[in-house]
Structure 1
Amino acid sequence: MTSQPENPDAATPTSAVPEAGVPDDVEDAVEPAVEPARTPSTSARERYADLVELVQKYRAAYYNDDAPLVSDAEFDRLYSELERIEALNPELVTNDSPTQVVGGDVSVAFAAVDHLTRMYSLEDVFSLAELEAWLRRAEASVEKRHGTAPQWLTELKIDGLAVNLLYRDGVLVRAATRGDGTTGEDITHNVATIKDIPQKLHGTGFPAEMEVRGEVYIASKDFAALNEQMVAAGRAPYANPRNTAAGSLRQKDPAETAKRPLSMYVHGIGAREGLETTSQSQTYAQLKEWGMPTSPYYKVLDTLEEVMGFIAHYGEHRHDLIHEIDGIVVKVDDFATQRELGHTSRVPRWSVAYKYPPEEVNTKLLDIRVNVGRTGRVTPYAVMTPVKVAGSTVEMATLHNQDVVKAKGVLIGDTVVLRKAGDVIPEVVGPVVALRTGDEREFVMPTHCPSCGTELAPAKEGDIDIRCPNARSCPAQLTERVAHLAGRGGFDIEALGYEAAAALTTGPGPDPAENGGVIMPSGPGPLTSEADVFTIADLDLSGVVVWREIRAKGEGTGRFQQVPYFYTKATAKKPSVPTRNTEKLFEELEKAKSQPLWRVLVALSIRHVGPTASRALATAFGSMDAIRAASEVALADVDGVGPIIAEALVEWFAVDWHREIVDAWAAAGVRMQDEVDESTPRTLEGLTLVVTGTLPNFSRDEAKEAIITRGGKAAGSVSRQTSYVVAGENAGTKLDKAESLGVKVLDEDGFVRLLAEGPAAEPDDQAVFAEEGEDA
């Protein structure tokens, strides 16, 4: 949905025809890309009527009920289609078209109040090409008038609720929602509970009357904590911070509003009798002096290239911010130029909002199934209608456990909100309750393992998670363990991916066409224990088959056939032989035998024992035999291990078939003892280093290995105990924290010198990252 900019004094056009968000003198010089149709077709009229009804319905749900029925991305798509039809058929447009009004209606639950100056929406653009075209048009108009290009105040588009605060002689006398842009809802008593908003401004020199516009939001960490409280109380969590903030401000009882962690940032100014500032940025500085909460995330930029750089930076770091954003707002900074450019009937011509690709979408929850992990944990997961979100197509998402399913309140058949923030695992946020039909059904957690049929139970009394206790023989657990041991943290066997692991450890199962297109393996495969993984070449793999969907002209048909996985298909002229990938698998298994001890430990799937603990154990003990023989106390004393991991290690080695795996790997030639390289100097003894960003000549694992082999500790987070931070490209928040704590920051050249010489390498000669004023 659209956000709210400030509003300099300007007349409001009354034409019913939508006006483009560019100045008239530029607009007249641009040849239309499409000749407008003189007479709308019947289909255009019908589609237009449908779109008007849909947009009005969804807008009312979003603004008035704080209960959106569709995702922002879907609303934006429908709204853009409506604008296109109106551009081609202007005679269809009426004054009550959604493109001619701002925001939503005013709720009858609150007193209606008029804003002194109108609150406008923003024109949204959804691609960098659209944004560049908008900025160049506006820039050309300003240069034509003044001979110089404008400065651009560029700031984050907060995903919150726009409010209008009226101060008289420095005292807050009224707060209102945007409403329809002219009239809003009086929420003064609720806003008074927000600590960020001063009831009386600090200092002196206040205007006689001033409207301050801002965005009320809930900070990301506060929203997470609020939802944890909801789940702990057995209630469904809130869907998103924006609607939670809006709903909080519309509570009848201000005491209820006060319970919500609301905050605000100023983003503009309306009526301002006696305010002498001449630009947006100057106004922000003045408001900050008076105690108003102004965002730390804005810059005044001179060029389009700088604006694009700002957008790229926060596109990469949007999840490092205090609050959620859905885009970037670009405004002409100078007020006089804003007034010259003016407004259309709905949006200012001096401001535009670039929307990042959506991270929340709505989709259909087709089913909830369960997955059995490598430690036996049974995890529900959502199967959904495939949908594109945050740049990738998603059709499955974890639901963690049965309590989370219940807390989220999702039913099979629901339309659900799906969220995927950057590289974060997709998450089902919750249901869109208003779209339920009554045909939905509850998810029931199975009582027996779907892979081996063993009765499920918690591992320990009081555990939320339930597990399959048949760890040794459950095909699903074996598949996960084999895929894990071949992963990047384990033996790093590229040719042994998840599909190959499943083909080795399970049978093909029933025809996926009979199961909604989902492949459900069943029964054992030729590999019945990971103990035999290094002797796979001795197994008969010629009969191993998997299901493949039959495709026609590049599209799936919904029909499946079984095909050989490890061997070629025999023909009249050629017998079946191992595929090139199978031969590569055999070669990689041989190479994997020489991996260092810490990788072998990771590959064993010992609970809690990941790469960090494994490195610490390998460094401390040097061999598998020494680790097996160590007492729980000796294991726990290792820095980076501790009592929980130590207990897990002792318990794991106490199981006979676990020990058989280690013995079988050793017999196959897997290295069980690290060779001490006396030639590697212990230059980092006693130092703690954090590696962040991308280094040209080191992978993250290689950099950590270089630190550990020289006696240093490779940490994952920056603290006052950190000796150095090694920062590559796109270093992010760890670099910011290092600079704030005064921790020495090295680039790759400085890192290489430190590895060779230790702290004796003069720090001043090592390239300290990011000169003042530069973005890292």
Structure 2
Amino acid sequence: MNKIEKKIKLLQKSLIYHNYLYFCLGKPVISDHEYDILFNKLKLLEKKYKKIYFSSPTRTIGSKIFSKLSLNKHLTPMLSLENVFTEKKFLNFYTKILKYKNEFLVNFVCELKLDGIAVNLIYKNGVLRKASTRGDGEKGEDITQNIFFVKSIPIKINGKNIPKLMEIRGEVLILKKDFIKLNKKNSFLKRNKFSSARNLASGSLLQKNFLNLKNRKLFFICHGFEVFNFFLDNSYYNILLKIKKWGFNISEKIIYSSSIKKILKFYSQIKNERFLLNYDVDGIVIKVDDLKLRKKLGVRSRSPRWAIAYKFPNQEKKTILKKVTFHVGRTGSITPVAHFVPVKISGITIKKASLHNKFFLDKLNLHINDRIFVCRAGDVIPQVVRKETINTKKRLIRIHFPEKCPSCRSFLEITSKSKKNFCTNYFFCLEQIKKRLVYFFSKTSFKIKDLGPNIINQLVDKMGFRNPIDFFGLDFHTLNNLKNVGKKFSKNILTSFKKFKSINLDKFILSFGIHGVGQVVSKKIAKNFKNLNKILDLKEEDLIEVCGIGKKITKNFINFIQNKNNRNIIFKLINNYNIHVKSYKKKDKNNKKFSFFLNKTILITGVFKDFSRKVLCNKLKNLGAEIKKSISKKVNLVIQGKNPGKKIFYAKKLGIKIIKENDFLKKISKN
């Protein structure tokens, strides 16, 4: 794999991870602007080097779904919007539309860009039948039961000229006044406050406890629709007004215009007034009004060509820097954090922000009591933007990055690529030890119930615990003597240790928190070397051959498994505490040898009598096929059920072989 391919794959992995945090967890760690920089970088590389993959984030919507909830398939894909942050990019979009139509005037509808959770509502004969989150764009989590608690969503549409089947799309959010009331109530009851209205709305939609939903006052605003075999109007604006008459809320501020000046004026107006609105907005959405023109313009793989989101710049507030603290991470990385006089931005009070690394800190040239400008990047992540440069005779104390680790006083090392400073005192740095132990017993690894940071930190500080083996000898008396640890917690922890008998090989590798060895790398190592004995005998040349594992990660992994202390811990877990590390088992591939479907790239469309879509996909994968969701020249077989979609039309156009359900059953019976 060459450098360009590696760079592309790294960007894809990074964007897939950030999509998961945003769409599935509702907890982004980077701003929209930072996401767009990564996204555009990947887009340019894929285009320049012609390395376009159909699973790439540039061609997919939303995120892969990891939820345990059942899933609903959208009748039509829920596309994302392309974001622009400058007037120049908005004008590029505007002129492209005019050129396409070859006219001087095109009408646009401008609405508020709501900072909520996108949902899809399916109505049959005017009655709400299903509700789903955006999910991966093709299907989303089933939230039908929860959506009935959103009073602003009509269960039945009353009126004339209502389509038999339609999708209504919009955002579920919590009004600012209701969010403040909830936090005041939590404060009075001495409960934790909610961090943001968006996260609360996201969590509420996936709630299993319906009693919580009654108090959360979720609110719905419609911004889209899909109508089937029915004509309402050719104007998006006119249909929106009809939807409003049916009982749905639409954008509080909305304009219908063909004028650039009016659109830009609307953008400036909302930018200035957004904090007076009763819900969070982060820009405006500009859409072509003419539905026929929309069809001609079409869509890209993940976004329509007829609409964009023109986002607001980050709001900045001035404050005073009080101090900078330095934090040691699980892998030894040192992160500076700025603490300042609290400021309120977008309704949220913030008092600290990460300064990332030594390079960023030195660039800002910070001093105690400096006046600094702070923003919430993408209205989410607190960030120090710059400091105010003023002439002062006062001698301010400059903040220097430490030469030694704040925890163990070891000298730090710096990496040239990441510009991060690291403490290399792996075994004796208490902060690293604490964080590694938290990771070891977390849900992703050994999953010991109720053994969280509070208990682990106390056991390290008071009882001298230093590695996982110490925890396997825990008793009730030790736990019960810790602060804020009662009988119930103690019992849960000890029961969890007793029940813990086995762990998958990839999770076992992951649990040690080796630098650079995350879930993907752990699975690759497990898949390639099958069992723990082989892995413990690995050499650098063995691991470097595995696709996607570079020299740095290889070195980190080999250093870890060759270390005597680490090997002792592994052997004690297996021999003294009878922990069974399950070997990696390959699925049975005997059926693949003579399969008609072996090595074929297959697309499935329509509904099948004898199989669900999931069962059908699994059968084909077991027979050696690769399943694709979208049509392309790479697809060499289409399996067609009843009521197929537009994919059949494109398949015929590309000359791809199509087989129907009966032919498929005959072929599958031969395998």
TM-score, normalised via structure 1 length? 0.43
Rg (Cα) greater in structure: 1
After TM superposition, the score normalised by the length of structure 2 is 0.50
